Amino acid sequence: MHIVVCIKQVPDSAQIRVHPVTNTIMRQGVPTIINPYDLFALEAALRLRDEYGGEVTVLTMGPPMAEDSLRKALTFGADRAVLLTDRFFAGSDTLATSYALSMALKKIDEVFGAADIVFTGKQTIDGDTAQVGPGIAKRNKLLQLTYVSKIANLDLAGGKIRVERRAEGGVQVLETKLPVLITMLEGTNEMRRGSMPDALRAARAEIVTWSAKDAGIEDVMKCGLRGSPTVVKRVFAPAARAEKAKLVEIQPKAADTADALIETIFGGLAGLETELVELHQTL
Ligand SMILES: Cc1cc2nc3c(=O)[nH]c(=O)nc-3n(C[C@H](O)[C@H](O)[C@H](O)COP(=O)(O)OP(=O)(O)OC[C@H]3O[C@@H](n4cnc5c(N)ncnc54)[C@H](O)[C@@H]3O)c2cc1C
């Protein structure tokens, strides 16, 4: 079995700052991490590999420094890492990103064996669009299972997979044929710690590095800024709200607490109590 996991290196959002004058995100000096959703996808892939055998390849498109994320994924136990990097990819929106990744996935199929499952995270914490996974599936004619919370069963001999999908108001159980693209939700499993042998292997591992040409992309006009129809018209930070939360000092006894709250609410809104009583009488 061959599983490919797409991972993206993203700025650690907890440390992102907005430029006070230009209101643009200041990325310089911000540490990077693997997109957290992609870690859940990676863990799901590693568990399947551990149970059924096979290999896990991790793939990222990004600048040369994205290699750090790939090495981290190897530390967790991935078998192979592919870095798709080229100046032609700079400024890619989701259309261009999914195009480049879909081409790299075809190349991976060719060079390392056809993928049975392609995993992506549900979304990233920087772009936040959740479009790249479905974009790849559409381009590579893969069936897709999105917002997956659990891999319920894999029937390799029968070429089928059953998953649980979080949907509004409940959970759907879906089954489909392989090969498939799965977008994985957060909180679905607990990420393992990397082992010492894997850490040593990761430090020395060869990262397969492909340019656009290596990945079989002939039309670079579909990549990067030139292949990206998305236009950012304005970037702004939300204005700070004038009103502040109010700390209400209350008595420790339950009855006193209720009285104090009622007093605080109705005391500040003259007439509300009468209105509510009248409304109640009309119902
Ligand atoms: C309005 C707008 C304007 C933008 N402008 C720019 C810009 O000018 N310059 C710029 O650099 N970026 C820009 N971006 C960000 C860029 O579009 C995204 O980084 C990129 O297209 C991926 O989209 P996403 O982060 O929303 O991924 P999502 O669709 O949320 O990601 C879903 C999953 O796809 C996979 N994935 C996504 N990206 C990669 C990747 N690179 N490698 C491997 N796997 C991946 C991951 O598994 C991820 O969990 C912009 C985004 C938006 C919304």
Contacts of 50 (CB under 8 A, 6+ apart): none
Tokens of 138: 């559409």
Tell which atom from ligand 1 comes closest to the C-alpha of 6. 44
Distance 6 CA to ligand 1 centre (A): 12
Pocket residues for ligand 1 (CB within 6 Å)? 6-8, 35, 37-38, 59-62, 91-94, 97, 101, 120-121, 123-124, 126-133, 230, 232
pLDDT of residue 62: 96
Q: Which amino acid is at 158?
A: G
pLDDT of residue 188: 86
- Domain boundary assignment for the chain: 2-227, 245-283
**DSSP 3-state helix, strand, coil percentages of the chain (rounded to 5)?**
35, 25, 40
Q: Which of 8, 136, 188 to mutate to test the pocket of ligand 1 (most atoms within 8 A of CB)?
A: 8
pLDDT of residue 65: 95
pLDDT of residue 258: 76
pLDDT of residue 196: 93
pLDDT of residue 29: 77
8 Å CB contact between 262 and 254: no
Distance 138 CA to ligand 1 centre (A): 17
Residue nearest to atom 10 of ligand 1 (CA): 91
| Dist. CA 265–CA 261, nearest whole Å | 6
Q: Which of 33, 42, 56, 94 to mutate to test the pocket of ligand 1 (most atoms within 8 A of CB)?
A: 94
Q: Which of 129, 210, 226 to mutate to test the pocket of ligand 1 (most atoms within 8 A of CB)?
A: 129
Angle at 63 between CA 235 and CA 209, to 5 degrees: 150
Distance 152 CA to ligand 1 centre (A): 29
Tell which atom from ligand 1 comes closest to the C-alpha of 126. 25
Q: Can you spell out the DSSP letters for 72-129?
A: HHHHHT-SEEEEE--GGGTT--HHHHHHHHHHHHHHHHHHH---SEEEEES--SSS--
CATH number for the domain formed by residue range(s) 2-227: 3.40.50.620
Distance 212 CA to ligand 1 centre (A): 17
Other Cβ atoms within 10 Å of 36 Cβ, number: 16
Tens place of pLDDT per residue across the chain (283 aa):
999 999 999 998 777 776 666 656 677 778 899 999 999 999 999 999 999 999 999 999 999 999 999 999 999 999 999 999 999 999 999 999 999 999 999 999 999 999 999 999 999 998 889 999 999 999 999 999 999 999 999 999 999 999 999 998 899 999 999 999 999 998 888 999 989 999 999 999 999 999 999 999 989 999 999 999 988 777 777 788 787 777 777 666 777 777 777 777 777 777 777 887 887 787 6
Contacts of 13 (CB under 8 A, 6+ apart): 125, 126
Distance 35 CA to ligand 1 centre (A): 11
Q: Which of 4, 6, 72 to mutate to test the pocket of ligand 1 (most atoms within 8 A of CB)?
A: 6
pLDDT of residue 17: 72
Strands 160-167 and 143-155: antiparallel
